[in-house]
Structure 1
Amino acid sequence: MTAADRASRPVHVWWARLADAHPGLVGLLDPVEIGRYETTVDHDNRRRFLAGCAVSRVVLGELLGLPPADVPLRRVCPRCGGPHGKVTLDVPAGGAHPDVRFSVSHSGDVIGLAVCHGADVGLDVEDGTGTDVEKVAPRVLTDRELAALHARPPAERTAAFLRYWTRKESALKAVGVGLRVPLRRLEVSDPELPPAVLSWPEQMESRHEVRMADTVVGATHPASVSVTGTAEVTLVRHDTSAMLRTWR
């Protein structure tokens, strides 16, 4: 392991709230994003999408030295080729910022953007309000995780389940497979232990090295960040609410 591997890798995470989404942000979107925004029926989902796009464009625009509307974001579904896949930066390999990687997540009234240099990153945040843990947990947790969850007092199970969930989704996002792999085939450490992947799903062609960090947004939304590689993750938190209010 090199000194660079042992060093801490900073991941900057910007958080916004649903209330930060306002019509003035629509002007930052590209035509594909505007089309998706206008055809999303659910009002809150429209606002989440708008805030996620706006945060991505404003933050990445500052990094690239570009107006937010000119940030070259690209969405291509790996299965059908449609414009709804994981969003990436469409910058040349030899460009000034080829190593900027990012991940967007939203749940409830929280929207997050994680940005990392030189490694792939995955962010997941969960609200959990109204989650039927007894019903959902068997679809998300391995048998061993499920047994550990049920060994906890009932009052502790929702928080523990959400921590399992955020770790799993962030890890799968970081390695680029997302929810194409069942969550219950991925095993992570107990919520009371440092975050780590214990075993990858058998159907994945290769195993990956990832490091994780946990956080909580506003005391109500657990979140996890995963980064490929062996460097330990250090989270640097930013609040984008004031920044988004300037784009009216």
Structure 2
Amino acid sequence: MTGHPVQVWWARLEDARMGLRALLDPVERVRYESTVDPGGRGRFLVGCALSRLVLGELLGLPPADVPLRRVCPRCGGPHGKVHLAPPPDGPSGTLPAYGCSVTFSVTHSGALVGVAVCRGGEVGLDVEESHGDMDIDSAARVALSDVELAALYARPAAERQPAFLRVWTRKEAVLKALGVGLGVPLRELEVSGPEQPPEVLAWPDRLATRPRVSLADTVVDGMHPAAVAVVVAGGAAGKGRGEAGGVRVTVHDGSEPLAEYDH
């Protein structure tokens, strides 16, 4: 079977047990304790703990010793995209167990928390909890290109939320894999339609290069759309386009290692 292998662990907000706080480093603990919203605090705890448990298994390290770092590219503060700190004797993300670079991505929405790990490329993971009271009109005006907006409103009203969320998760996954987040407007990144194989059709002009990116769609609990993107170093995509397919996703139960640790 071909494609970039990506392992994805899904957990839930209800997995935020008090014992998991022992896994947090001092910076994470400050952020956890300063988060006022209980849901946000729980999602942060689950994301940190699950990342450390998964990566600790791969690194052969105690989970609390996994060298996670968050550095904002704008201000240098501890709230940027989380990544593995460079080891003293090797390149960033090099794991002895795999003999090659490993990257990971964390996502959460509502009660869902996910962690993706990939070998041989930068990975981005996004999930969006599907619910009936979402303001699709406002979100679509911010996230979709004119072409995508026209396609969305050509659909019956009942089909718009799932169609929008499928497109949104693909875009978010790509931007997370690139490490730019919402620094690049979603409207300037165009992807294929929900029923089509996932791929990037047009890149924002402000990106200096057109990376090679592969995409895969997935669903959590049979109803919540998610997407995985892998950006491969050492090559650029063709004229304005990304690469369809090319991601092999293996899904794991993230609640299990969290429960085992807390016991």
TM-score (norm 1): 0.95
Once residues 179 and 128 of structure 1 are traced to their aligned partners in structure 2, the CA distance between those partners, rounded to angstroms, is 21
Once residues 117 and 59 of structure 1 are traced to their aligned partners in structure 2, the CA distance between those partners, rounded to angstroms, is 14
Letter in 2 for 1:137: A
* 1:187 paired residue number: 190
Shift of residue 7, structure 1, vs aligned partner: 3.2
How is 1:1-248 mapped onto 2 (pairs within 5 angstroms)?
A: 7-92=2-87, 93-94=90-91, 95=94, 96=96, 99-129=101-131, 130-229=133-232, 232-248=246-262
Shift of residue 176, structure 1, vs aligned partner: 1.6
Once residues 124 and 60 of structure 1 are traced to their aligned partners in structure 2, the CA distance between those partners, rounded to angstroms, is 19
Once residues 256 and 145 of structure 2 are traced to their aligned partners in structure 1, the CA distance between those partners, rounded to angstroms, is 41
**Structure 1: where are the runs of 5+ without partners?**
1-5
Q: String of CA shifts for 1:151-184, please: whole Å, max 9, x gaps.
A: 1111000000000100000001111211100101
Which stretch has the larger CA shift, 6-15 or 154-163? 6-15
The secondary structure found in structure 1 opposite 2:6 is: strand
Once residues 220 and 31 of structure 1 are traced to their aligned partners in structure 2, the CA distance between those partners, rounded to angstroms, is 36
Q: String of CA shifts for 1:165-213, please: whole Å, max 9, x gaps.
A: 0000000111121110010110000000000000100111111110000
Contact in 1 for aligned 2:4/2:120 (Cα 8 Å):
no
* 1:3 paired residue number: none
Once residues 82 and 219 of structure 1 are traced to their aligned partners in structure 2, the CA distance between those partners, rounded to angstroms, is 37
Once residues 215 and 119 of structure 2 are traced to their aligned partners in structure 1, the CA distance between those partners, rounded to angstroms, is 15
TM-score (norm 2): 0.89
Contact in 1 for aligned 2:2/2:248 (Cα 8 Å):
no
Shift of residue 17, structure 1, vs aligned partner: 0.6
- Percent of matched pairs sharing the same residue: 60
Check 1:98–1:83 CA distance in 2 against 1; reply closer, same or farther (3 A cut): farther
Contact in 1 for aligned 2:3/2:246 (Cα 8 Å):
yes
The secondary structure found in structure 1 opposite 2:207 is: coil
* 2:239 paired residue number: none
Once residues 77 and 88 of structure 1 are traced to their aligned partners in structure 2, the CA distance between those partners, rounded to angstroms, is 11
Superposition RMSD in Å: 1.4
Check 1:85–1:98 CA distance in 2 against 1; reply closer, same or farther (3 A cut): farther
Shift of residue 91, structure 1, vs aligned partner: 3.1
Large movers: runs of 4+ above 6 Å:
none
Q: String of CA shifts for 1:72-117, please: whole Å, max 9, x gaps.
A: 0011000000000000001333552660100000001110000001
* 2:238 paired residue number: none
Shift of residue 247, structure 1, vs aligned partner: 2.0
Once residues 143 and 123 of structure 1 are traced to their aligned partners in structure 2, the CA distance between those partners, rounded to angstroms, is 25
Letter in 2 for 1:24: G
Once residues 147 and 171 of structure 1 are traced to their aligned partners in structure 2, the CA distance between those partners, rounded to angstroms, is 22
